[in-house]
Amino acid sequence: MEEGIKVGKKAAAIRAVDDHVKDNQVIGIGSGSTIIYAIDRIVERVKKENLKLICVPTSFQAEQAILENGLSLGQLSMYPKLDVAIDGADEVDASLNCIKGGGGCLTQEKIVDYCARDFIVVADERKDSEFLGEKWKRGLPIEVIPMSYKPVQLKIQNTLGGTANLRMAAKKAGPVVTDNSNFIIDWIFDGEQDWQKVDTFLHSIPGVLETGLFLQTAKMVYFGTVEVIIGQIIGGGKRKT
């Protein structure tokens, strides 16, 4: 990964943790590469400030990171209400709607992130778009029950157009298998969409478990650049430097 991008991810993560993590909180821990910097910062602050935190993972990756870093692991069954969830995103539009699931963890991420009072996104500046699909060209991730993948692909293509690709594994023969033992379809689309309609349609197809559309849920997005951090405030699309 390019050095400038890493710096941006780290800067966004540090700022988000410093602004939103407080003592005695239950925190959702997202997935991906940016969140690793947030975990590093949480660990630093736990040691320095003796913070008492419960960390609820959004994936196998997040759970491993929580355990390996000696943080306190929690589950939604014990902590169904989170104070804050910090997570990455693949793209964020001007209204803070997100596409997530590039790492295939969208379902658990959506469940955990929706349980948080404050859902905070951390990302490098490449993810900052006016509309979804402007920069992110790998499509909308959709988690499906394995036996349904073919009819779901056909239904999406015939109704919405574009291409619905079954995500294939890089170091295994065959498809990517999610933490929930399901498959991922990446819907490659063209141009701007009515995302609320798309989401409702996708959820109506038998076999679709969840989509990577996180609409109207992020409270704040931190985009890190090499030089500055920009926090976007939901609603007015305001930016603070």
Ligand X SMILES: O=C(CO)[C@H](O)[C@H](O)COP(=O)(O)O
Interacting residues toward ligand X by CB under 6 A:
30-34, 87-90, 100-106, 109
Closest approach, Cβ 199 to ligand X, in A, equals: 16
Name which of 189 and 222 has its Cβ closer to ligand X. 222
Closest approach, Cβ 171 to ligand X, in A, equals: 17
- Active-site residue flag, 3: no
Catalytic residue among 3, 49, 68, 109: 109
**Maximum separation of any 2 CA atoms in the chain, in Å:** 56
114: left (phi over 0), alpha (psi -120 to 50) or beta: alpha
Name which of 100 and 167 has its Cβ closer to ligand X. 100
Name which of 59 and 155 has its Cβ closer to ligand X. 59
Closest approach, Cβ 240 to ligand X, in A, equals: 22
Closest approach, Cβ 183 to ligand X, in A, equals: 14
Name which of 105 and 155 has its Cβ closer to ligand X. 105
**Which residues are designated catalytic?**
109
